[in-house]
Structure 1
Amino acid sequence: MTALVNNAGIYPWKSFEDTDFATWKKVLGVNLDGPFLMSKAFLPGMRARKYGRIVNVASTTFWLNAPQMTAYIASKGGVIGFTRALASEIGADGVTANVIAPGLTNTATMRGVNEDIFEYLPKQQAIPRVIEPEDLVGVVSFLCSKDSGFVTGQTIATDGGQVRI
């Protein structure tokens, strides 16, 4: 089985006014160019084998009112659009492309950026607790498995029920 999970991401908390072009390019470079480049590298082999799974990681902030994240939200919206378009081109070759969109996840990096958000955000979810990295594993595993062979171009929100798409 061949699967590619594009999970790299950076998220500077800056207002649009404070976001310079260098920051904009860096965020889009990591969050959107990364999945593009990795997919370019992996797709030839997947197509040759007539099998592959690509899972890109976006964010439910795309559907939320999240100020000071313009570059991040733009990049993750781009990931969703990229994945949908890619799915249309590779499905006939036995390759699927999908998106997992987590909510605010309890990681050391995120905790260091904005601790206060962990107090109120879980209260907005149907499952009112902090999202742990382990909560995302099942969805990613499914999208990487043969069981997801007829699922492509989809975005699955994994945020405890905060957004409903």
Structure 2
Amino acid sequence: MGSNLDDIDRGVLYLLQQDARNTTAIDMAEELDVSPSTVRNRIDQLEEDDVLAGYHPQINYEHTGFPLLAIFIVTAAPADRAEAVEHLLEIDGVFEIREMLGGNENIHVNVLAKDNCHLSNISDKIHAVDVEIEQTELTKQCRTQPVTFFSDPISSDETESADGT
């Protein structure tokens, strides 16, 4: 489906990104000016097409006893990158890995830690994998927002310049 998303599909995706837990099919139907059954059918189709691949909670990890969020930027040889990622995912505290397209600093490893000692232990385990840690960044704050590609199309009135062209 991917590139065949229409305005209703994009609207459903946008509204789910805003608050999937508390947004009902009825709420979305009113917002999108369609029936609730249309919304439910669209969600079912988006799930079947793997456009909607899951529903994930937003967790305040600081409140769970893991106040440190760090990003390890590492380099793995291109031929060894896939295997390195698998080993990195086995490390307790690693919750997300992003593989970059190429060059150095080609793996970004997101980790959660209880304290500096715990973070140091995770760092030691990352070093034990055949990668080079290029840098480590502590995250002060993480913010997300819905992807605006799925919001209502910008009207032509909003795209006009100040001189009316």
Quick check: TM above 0.5?
no
- Larger CA Rg, structure 1 vs 2: 2
